[in-house]
Amino acid sequence: MNLLPIDEVAAKAGIPGGALYHYGPYKAKLSRDYTDSLPPAGQGKLILVTAISPTPAGEGKTTTTIGLGDGLTRIGKQTLICLREPSMGPCFGMKGGATGGGKAQVAPSDEINLHFTGDFHAITAANNLLAAMIDNHVYWGNDLGLDPDKVTWRRAMDMNDRALRHLTVDITGKGLIRRDSFDITVASEVMASFCLARSLKDLEERLSRVIVGRDRDDKIVTAKALKAAPAMVALLRDAFQPNLVQTLEHTPALVHGGPFANIAHGCNTLTATETALRLADYVVTEAGFGADLGAEKFFDIKCRLGGLKPAVSVVVATVRALKMHGGVAKTDLAEQNIEAVHSGLCNLRRHVENMQKFGVPAVVAINHFTSDTQAEIDVIKEECAALGVKAHLCTHWEHGGKGTESLAHDVAALADAGEAHFKPIYPDSMPIADKIRTVAREIYRAKEVDLSDIALGKLAQYEEAGFGAVPVCMAKTQYSFSADPNLRGAPVDFTLPVPDVRLSAGAGFVVALCGEIMTMPGLPRIPAAERIFVDEHGLIQGLF
């Protein structure tokens, strides 16, 4: 890789060298003094890259985000890319590295995938400091009357380890046992709060609101009662500053934060996005999973809480994935199947229609694979034309930014035209249960929502406690518009079950649990870790 020194990358974004805290030659954090000195409102145009519902065939959202950023740079646009940081769990598990692919990558990819600047370690430490303070409080007399059986705060680790899903701990060493468990760090509420906070003060206020459990009278106990939030912020102080890296074509990229896209909102930090909008004319970012999860939460949570106004949405699709939505098995994807593409296009169509419901213009990026045929690509383009949107064949994996120039011109033109009239799908004032129903019906196309009595009772408690105006964070399978991962395509008239809800008071949203959501993944039968090694030159191999 022919990378530029990070000072030269910073200069391309107008960032002075004195504003950097260096972490080696190719990555740095922006100093707090510098980010605080930037004008409060930038003129940058925000571009969201999202995708159709994920399949094992792959969609390439991150790769397309990077390729589009490089394409905009190639056509002369002042551009910054904003991405989430990869979690080490998937890197060593099934997914592998998450820094793009081919000629559309952020770099140094090995360092970004493993440890990076230590942000995730800081978030893990802050999470576990709170856990330690909970048990310590009980050990030293429990003045708050915290009920050990009602402690809901979980420990965290940025690694897949199914053995940590359920365990017991002896708080006192004298037989006071309680049940405990671990989440992977990206599922921690500390991560979600970190990514939505706008300042260290805001972060402390959010962490103070975090609910750790209930006392013996069933009243909520928060991190504020344990006096934990200030020390947690001390651990997070340096991590809170955005990280600067580059693409293989030297486009500047801010890679910062990384909450799960099902149990949380799946976007990079608000601080990184706001910083980028103050520095660049065009900011390209992404949201996790398909548009029904990632884009909906980006719009209804991040944009709502951050006051962001997205200008364009890019929906990524592949011929292969559309075939799977059309009923083709993964083993048969290399064969031309125009009928299956036709059938699978219902999934793309619905995602595009959903983007338009938010008042954000959409464009489609067809992420090219070598097995694609022209006839299959033409089917997608014809369908998109019927929807009134353009579809661009993108070859960024093979050609880098050159492979997205057509997409970049279209995106820039749409952004410059100012045709976006962004509006969240529901108002703040709507009751929480109706917010859940609105997302289910308008975005998923559910006919009914089955909110359990337990869920409805909790929602009433949350509204009585003053949390009625918060957005909802839908936690469901990413593989389907429904709660059934096997229902591909675009199912309709189904019932969406919501057996339980959870208040993430620090992050500032209510999680609607549409089925069981795994927050501590396990390693697959053959984990990616078996392929990762350091070669004779000291280089890390096997991450991809």
Q: Which of 29, 61, 320, 476 is catalytic?
A: 61
- Judge whether 311 counts as a catalytic residue: no
For the chain, how many helices (H) and strands (E)? 19, 26
SS3 of 444-466: HCCCEEEECHHHHHHHHHHHHCC
- Judge whether 240 counts as a catalytic residue: no
- Judge whether 103 counts as a catalytic residue: no
- Judge whether 533 counts as a catalytic residue: no
How many CA atoms lie less than 13 Å away from 460 in the CB half-sphere? 7
- Judge whether 397 counts as a catalytic residue: yes
Cα separation values, 18 from 22, 32, 165, 247, 260, Å: 10, 12, 45, 22, 33
Query: What's the N-to-C CA distance of the chain in angstroms?
Result: 15
Q: Which of 214, 369, 441, 460 is catalytic?
A: 369
- Residue 354, class by beta-carbon neighbours within 10 Å (0-12 exposed, 13-18 middle, 19+ buried)? buried
CB 265 within 8 A of CB 197: no
Residue 271 CA to residue 538 CA, distance in Å, equals 34
Q: Which of 63, 64, 275, 519 is catalytic?
A: 63
Q: Is the peptide bond before 431 cis (omega within 30 degrees of 0)?
A: no
- Judge whether 61 counts as a catalytic residue: yes
Q: Which of 19, 261, 433, 505 is catalytic?
A: 261
Q: Which of 92, 116, 289, 467 is catalytic?
A: 289
Residue 340 CA to residue 327 CA, distance in Å, equals 7
Buried-state track 247-269, b at ≥16 Cβ within 10 A, e below 16: bbbbbbbbbbbbbbbbbbbbbbb
- Judge whether 261 counts as a catalytic residue: yes
Q: Which of 29, 74, 77, 84 is catalytic?
A: 84
- Residue 38, class by beta-carbon neighbours within 10 Å (0-12 exposed, 13-18 middle, 19+ buried)? middle
Q: Which of 182, 298, 358, 397 is catalytic?
A: 397
Q: Which residues are catalytic?
A: 61, 63, 84, 95, 261, 289, 369, 397
